[in-house]
């Protein structure tokens, strides 16, 4: 089965700054993938490379087995809602649907019309006068009605109010439920993605820090709390992600596929947001060259 996105050693340099470097990634099809990372982590760069809006400086990227943006066929297979959900301010909602119909051979006019009426958008209204949420919905409609195999959404809800966010995600969930479309959606907030994603990619400091099935990631991470000790004493199957120590107590986040058997630890589950934050904190320390304990503070404060 071909991957939705298959990247190898992918990098993009702007002038002397690497916006994305050494990105190796394989995202399976049929998933709703969350791409998380702070602002400036390279999310938009990665998604732009996946749509062919940018050319990589190093490495390769294949999307659904093809070169991104390589021709009308490839373009038809990928729907893209760019950051800030651009539309033509001077064109009406109906004009946007006409644009979609003229420029996409696989255009589903019924679907588009149905979505517009469900959303309560007025066909004659100019896109420039729509609210942010309505504009995002219009952009999503255009991307969905071309019937893509992969839908790429770049921070589509970052600028929306909570109600518009919920509506947007609702529509997205309905779409994935009724068709086989794969989705990759980026956000700098884990909370936005938690409800709908089943696969997670954490991007930080222009590198992939973590990637995998959400369930698997949650299952394989354990937070261990107990009397203070040296993390070096842990069994080799338990990989230390972060650690923090007080005078008497140690808190260690471990990654392990085996259960933790040592009864002197209090073992607890970690939720997605804390997991992501732990990896982001880790990356930040590595980048800054700080000692490890500084990282864990982030995790502790969060808890």
Number of residues that bind another protein (CB under 8 A): 35
Q: For another protein, which is the closer residue by CB, 140 or 204?
A: 140
Least separation in angstroms between residue 76's CB and another protein is 4
Q: For another protein, which is the closer residue by CB, 48 or 296?
A: 48
* Positions 65 through 124 that interact with another protein (CB under 8 A): 69, 71-73, 75-76, 78-80, 82, 84, 86-91, 95, 98-100, 102-106
Least separation in angstroms between residue 84's CB and another protein is 6
Least separation in angstroms between residue 167's CB and another protein is 21
- Distance from C-alpha of 25 to C-alpha of 212, rounded to nearest angstrom: 10
- Distance from C-alpha of 123 to C-alpha of 134, rounded to nearest angstrom: 12
**Which of 48, 134, 175, 296 forms a contact with another protein (CB under 8 A)?**
48
Q: For another protein, which is the closer residue by CB, 146 or 222?
A: 146
Least separation in angstroms between residue 261's CB and another protein is 51
Task: Indicate whether 255 belongs to the interface with another protein (CB under 8 A).
Answer: no
Task: Indicate whether 267 belongs to the interface with another protein (CB under 8 A).
Answer: no
- Distance from C-alpha of 164 to C-alpha of 56, rounded to nearest angstrom: 34
Q: For another protein, which is the closer residue by CB, 84 or 286?
A: 84
Task: Indicate whether 41 belongs to the interface with another protein (CB under 8 A).
Answer: no
Task: Indicate whether 153 belongs to the interface with another protein (CB under 8 A).
Answer: no
User: Which of 45, 57, 70 has its CA nearest to residue 16?
Assistant: 57
Least separation in angstroms between residue 122's CB and another protein is 19
Task: Indicate whether 61 belongs to the interface with another protein (CB under 8 A).
Answer: no
Q: Which residues contact 235 (CB under 8 A, 6 or more apart)?
A: none
Q: What angle separates helix 162-178 from helix 132-145, to the nearest 10 degrees?
A: 10
Question: What distances in angstroms separate CA 254 from CA 10, 22, 204, 213, 221, one per listed residue?
Answer: 28, 25, 20, 17, 6
Q: For another protein, which is the closer residue by CB, 95 or 213?
A: 95
Q: For another protein, which is the closer residue by CB, 128 or 212?
A: 128
Tell me the torsion sign for CA atoms 80, 85, 86, 92: positive
Strands 221-227 vs 249-255: parallel, antiparallel or unpaired: antiparallel
Task: Indicate whether 139 belongs to the interface with another protein (CB under 8 A).
Answer: yes
Task: Indicate whether 43 belongs to the interface with another protein (CB under 8 A).
Answer: no
Q: For another protein, which is the closer residue by CB, 113 or 292?
A: 113
- Distance from C-alpha of 274 to C-alpha of 207, rounded to nearest angstrom: 19
- Find out whether 121 and 145 touch, Cβ atoms under 8 Å: no
Q: Which structure tokens are listed for 125? A: 């209204």
- Find out whether 181 and 143 touch, Cβ atoms under 8 Å: no
- Distance from C-alpha of 35 to C-alpha of 41, rounded to nearest angstrom: 10
Q: For another protein, which is the closer residue by CB, 87 or 244?
A: 87
- Distance from C-alpha of 50 to C-alpha of 67, rounded to nearest angstrom: 9
Give the footprint of another protein on this chain (CB under 8 A): 48, 51, 53-55, 69, 71-73, 75-76, 78-80, 82, 84, 86-91, 95, 98-100, 102-106, 139, 142-143, 146
């Amino acid at each position: 089965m071909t991957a939705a996105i298959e990247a190898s050693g992918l990098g993009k340099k702007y002038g002397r700054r690497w916006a994305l470097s050494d990105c190796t990634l394989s995202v399976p099809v049929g998933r709703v993938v969350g791409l998380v990372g702070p602002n400036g982590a390279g999310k938009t760069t990665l998604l732009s490379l996946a749509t062919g809006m940018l050319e990589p400086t190093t490495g390769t990227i294949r999307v659904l087995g093809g070169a991104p943006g390589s021709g009308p066929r490839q373009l038809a297979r990928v729907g893209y809602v760019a950051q800030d959900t651009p539309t033509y301010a001077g064109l009406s909602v109906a004009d946007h649907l006409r644009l979609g119909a003229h420029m996409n051979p696989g255009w589903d006019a019924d679907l588009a019309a149905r979505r517009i009426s469900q959303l309560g958008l007025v066909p004659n209204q100019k896109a420039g006068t729509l609210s942010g949420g309505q504009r995002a919905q219009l952009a999503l409609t255009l991307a969905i009605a071309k019937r893509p195999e992969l839908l790429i959404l770049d921070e589509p809800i970052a600028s929306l109010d909570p109600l518009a966010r919920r509506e947007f995600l609702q529509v997205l969930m309905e779409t994935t439920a009724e068709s086989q479309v794969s989705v990759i959606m980026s956000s700098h907030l884990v909370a936005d993605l938690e409800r709908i994603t089943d696969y997670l990619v954490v991007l930080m400091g222009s590198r992939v820090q973590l990637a995998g099935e959400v369930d698997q990631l949650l299952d394989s991470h354990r937070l261990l709390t107990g009397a203070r000790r040296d993390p070096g004493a842990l069994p080799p199957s338990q990989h230390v992600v972060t650690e923090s120590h007080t005078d008497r107590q140690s808190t260690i986040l471990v990654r392990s596929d085996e259960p933790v058997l040592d009864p002197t630890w209090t073992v607890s589950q970690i939720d997605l947001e804390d997991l992501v934050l732990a990896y982001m904190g880790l990356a930040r320390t590595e980048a800054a060259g700080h000692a490890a304990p500084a990282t864990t503070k982030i995790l502790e404060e969060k808890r």
